[in-house]
Amino acid sequence: MRQVKTQHISNPETFKKQLLNWSQQFDEVVWLDSNDYTQKHTSYDAVLAVEAFTVFQTDYFDAFNQLKEYQTITNDWIFGYLSYDLKNDVERLSSSNHDELGFPDLFFFQPKKLFFLKGNVLETHYLNFVEDELDHDLKSIASSVIEKSEQENYSEEKDIKIKLRIHKDEYFNKLNEMLSHIHRGDIYEANFCQEFYAEDTTIIPLETYQKLNAISKPPFATYMRVYDKYLLSASPERYIKKEGLKITSQPIKGTAKRSKDKQEDEALIKQLSEDIKERSENIMIVDLVRNDLSKTATKGSVKVEELCKVYTFDQVHQMISTVTSQVNESTHPVDIIKTTFPMGSMTGAPKISAMKIIEELEETKRGLYSGAVGYFSPDDDFDFNVVIRSILYNETNKYLSYSVGGAITAKSEPLKEYEECLVKAKAMREVLEN
């Protein structure tokens, strides 16, 4: 049983920093932060899950059935991630590209300690509650600061040398190959990604995350630690959410850079909202999401609540659509994810053909990148983001990686697509190269 307590927090921003610093003592950490971004479908301002009571991890084989069993038996809050390569469980596909990060394909844990922050209200959910444990933790959180030695180590770190897995000329060749598939009619659209990486590299994950979050302030920011592996994410995108019997998916397709000049920035918003190529990219993925949701939806319940609306973030403008459906009470939450995974915004249309071509042309196994991080609640609700604009780090291997991609359609121009990738990579590069 979980002991639930609520209390008033006078300064939520300070408390969030202290809470995240305090979490560093644990091997299993999931931190989700909305950065107070105004959006219709938010549940909490921030969530922290730490210290595993039970753990479930596996490779892709039969992964969704095993997750279904774990989620059903646990019947509690579970937090974790789904890697892109779970596609191999859903379809007859494979992943044989280069992988130096080595994240398991799927990882979830049942946290002993949970913190939900909404406005000035903190709700704590402790499993196997011990008397005075929460009071002791709150005192530790209140006195939590970054250790000075870590600050000093950080300043002594050697320069991070970012390398490209696919160089510019090779990128153009691969894109032209992708375009030939489109012109042949094999696919209409595919999301093509490339990796930037650094070897023999040491970072302080928390500080790197804090810097990335400070310059991006996205609604689906994530700091995750799974033993020696870290995700530092400034994701602007929700993959899928279940609240009661309502399902909400919010694919992003369409990106424009920001300008410091207000008039120019407004012109960029207008340009993006009217761009035929960007709108067609978005609408193709909306159709795919509608099709995916219809597999578990009650008849006639799939609706497009918002089509091609431009939202503004600190780094970029994005075109977002919102697709919803209703499900029956008897529908298992894991089945809703299984029938929509991987998300359409990171694959293409038709989905299976796009995933096969992506595997042929990309050089790196995607792993957690373009997968999802989130949670299931005890009453079968869930919420997951899309792992993009993210730094992945294997502390043992000293290997660091971030990937970026874009939707390729018949109207794509290789140089423009390459430039869009650099815009998306800008925040990660700035953070790592100071």
Catalytic residues: 237, 253
SS3 336: helix
Question: What is the rounded CA–CA span in Å between residue 22 and residue 16?
Answer: 10
Question: What is the rounded CA–CA span in Å between residue 221 and residue 209?
Answer: 9
Question: What is the rounded CA–CA span in Å between residue 165 and residue 405?
Answer: 13
Question: What is the rounded CA–CA span in Å between residue 376 and residue 247?
Answer: 13
* Sign of the CA dihedral running 342, 346, 349, 353: negative
Tokens 């008397």 sit on residue: 131
215: which 2 tokens?
């310059």
* Sign of the CA dihedral running 272, 38, 205, 230: negative
Helix axes 12-22, 205-216, angle to 10 degrees: 150
CB of 172 within 8 A of CB of 166? no
Question: What is the rounded CA–CA span in Å between residue 297 and residue 55?
Answer: 31
Closest CA to 378 of 120, 114, 122, 44: 114
Question: What is the rounded CA–CA span in Å between residue 302 and residue 318?
Answer: 23
2: which strand partners?
A: 127
Helix axes 414-433, 168-184, angle to 10 degrees: 140
307 CB burial (10 A radius; 0-12, 13-18, 19+): middle
Give 124-128's long-range contacts (Cβ < 8 A, gap of 24+): 124/3, 124/4, 124/5, 124/6, 124/7, 125/2, 125/3, 125/4, 125/77, 126/2, 126/3, 126/5, 127/1, 127/2, 127/53, 127/76, 128/53
- Identify residue 209 by its one-letter amino acid code: Y
- Which helix (H) or strand (E) segment is 168 a member of? helix 168-184
